[in-house]
Structure 1
Amino acid sequence: MPALRPLSLITGASAGIGAAFARELAARGHDLVLVARRTDRLQALAEDLHQRHGAQAHVLPADLADPTAPRQLVDALQKQGLTVDWLVNNAGYGVPGTFDASDWPVHADFLQVLLNAPTELAWRLLPGMRERGYGRIVNVASLAGHVPGSAGHTLYAASKAYLIKFSQSLALENRHHGVHVCALCPGFTWSEFHDVTGTRALVGKLPRFMWQDADTVVREGIEAVERGEPVHVTGRVNRAIKALAKLTPDRLALWLSARESRRYRQLD
């Protein structure tokens, strides 16, 4: 059974889906560990959640592009005597343009944040969850991990596909230990993501029915991990896209991906 007030660690908690997770979990009686680079935003969010829900929110600023950050975060938790019941690996971003358009350190930082950091945090926090017989791990992946790769943002879909497979294996290994693992796979979500990548004007041309708000995505994710669902694609439209992608022959799927990439990917 979880603690009276479970403790949830959320990466990328300063905005978007991460902040929505913080709001929803606080409303459900969780205390929080908020992790991101922007200390001012984390502190403002922590104060708001304490006033609204009585949640105790610990602010731990960190740059997950630093390979030492996951270990330092867990060390800081241990020093404060905090045990994590929920881990939400949400931190992420996109690198616009083609693969050769960015220097290697840019890609190295991306891989550290989207692959290494969530994997290491799960590895460091999972033993305590298993020992206590309760835990929840949500890896925020993407519909992009289920469909053919696109030109531009070259590593994004690949990293999300990794999180999906990783979550499936981790879920199978821990389902008899009271630990549920879920790869949450939203499609286009209203957030700062596309502003940061500079693709807001492009994706803004997509029809509104393809979009979800972050709060809806988060509620679906929480319900899915509680059910023990290893992978959850949010929204009927996104689930239909996933199903069509699986049924479409590879050559046709790649042709469609190449055509559609121009609508929402920066290719220079």
Structure 2
Amino acid sequence: MPPARPLSLVTGASAGIGATFARALAARGHDLALTARRSERLETLAAELRQQHASTVTVLPADLADPAAPAALCEELARRGLAVDWLINNAGYGVPGGFVASDWHTHAEFLQVLLAAPVELAWRLLPGMRERGYGRIVNVASLAGHVPGTAGHTLYAPAKAFLIKFSQGLALESRGCGVHVCALCPGFTYSEFHDVTGTRALMNKLPGFMWQRADEVVAEGMEAVERGEAVHVTGRVNRAIKSMFKLMPDRLAFRLSARQARRYRQLD
């Protein structure tokens, strides 16, 4: 059984899907630990959640591009006597342009944030969840992890595909422990993501039916992890896209993906 007031740790909580997860969990009666780089935004969100939902909210600014950050974050939680019941591994971003257009340090930080940090946080927090017999881990992946990779944002799809496979394995390992693990796979979602990567003008060319709101994504994710789904693709359109690519011959799927990517990827 969950505790009376579960504690949820949300990474990348300063905006977008992360902030929406924080609001939805607070509305459910959760206390929150929020982390991201932008401390001012975290403090503003924390004040909102305390006022609207009487949640206890702990703000822990951190840059997950620092390899030492996950351990330091968990050590600070332990020092404060906070046991995490829900882990929302949401922090992420894209590196636009061709692979060799960015220096290696940029790619290394990307891999640290999208791969190493979520895996380490799960590794550090999962034992406590298992010991208490209750826990939920949501790894925010992407529809991109289910379709062929494309030029531009070259590491993004592989990183999300890794999170999907990682979540599946961890979900199987956690069966019978009261811990559910889910890779949440949204498609195009209204957020700051494309403003940060500088691809907003390209994304605005996509039709409206391709997009979901962050609150729709989060609602589906919370329901999916509670049901025990190891992987959940949000929205009917995205599920149809996944199924279509799964049924296509690999060569055709690759060609179609490459052609469509020219519409919304920065390729150089």
- What residue in structure 2 maps to residue 44 of structure 1? 44
- What residue in structure 1 maps to residue 245 of structure 2? 245
- What residue in structure 2 maps to residue 107 of structure 1? 107
Q: How many residues align?
A: 268
CA distance in 1, matches of 2:99, 2:138: 28
CA distance in 1, matches of 2:184, 2:55: 24
SS of 1:66's equivalent in the other structure is coil
CA distance in 1, matches of 2:144, 2:190: 16
- What residue in structure 2 maps to residue 197 of structure 1? 197
CA distance in 1, matches of 2:226, 2:175: 12
TM-score when normalising by structure 1: 1.00
CA distance in 2, matches of 1:32, 1:175: 25
Identify unmatched segments of 5+ residues in structure 1: none
Post-superposition Cα deviations, 1:162-216, rounded to whole Å, max 9, x if no partner, equal 0000000000000110000000000000000000001101011000000000001
SS of 2:109's equivalent in the other structure is helix
CA distance in 1, matches of 2:108, 2:88: 22
Deviation at 1:2, TM superposition (A): 1.2
- What residue in structure 1 maps to residue 62 of structure 2? 62
Q: Which amino acid aligns with 1:34?
A: L
- What residue in structure 2 maps to residue 217 of structure 1? 217
- What residue in structure 2 maps to residue 7 of structure 1? 7
SS of 2:112's equivalent in the other structure is helix
CA distance in 1, matches of 2:66, 2:114: 12
Deviation at 1:257, TM superposition (A): 1.2
CA distance in 1, matches of 2:267, 2:82: 44
Query: Superposition RMSD on alpha carbons, in Å?
Result: 0.4
Kindly report structure 1 stretches of 4+ aligned residues shifted beyond 2 Å: none
CA distance in 2, matches of 1:84, 1:202: 39
CA distance in 2, matches of 1:74, 1:197: 29
Taking only the aligned residue pairs, the percentage that are identical comes to 76
CA distance in 2, matches of 1:43, 1:263: 37
- What residue in structure 1 maps to residue 34 of structure 2? 34
Q: Which amino acid aligns with 1:148?
A: P
Post-superposition Cα deviations, 1:202-248, rounded to whole Å, max 9, x if no partner, equal 01100000000000100000000000000000000000000001011
CA distance in 2, matches of 1:36, 1:260: 32
SS of 1:232's equivalent in the other structure is strand
Post-superposition Cα deviations, 1:85-126, rounded to whole Å, max 9, x if no partner, equal 000000000000010100000000000000000000000000
Identify unmatched segments of 5+ residues in structure 2: none
CA distance in 2, matches of 1:230, 1:175: 11
CA distance in 2, matches of 1:176, 1:258: 42
- What residue in structure 2 maps to residue 77 of structure 1? 77
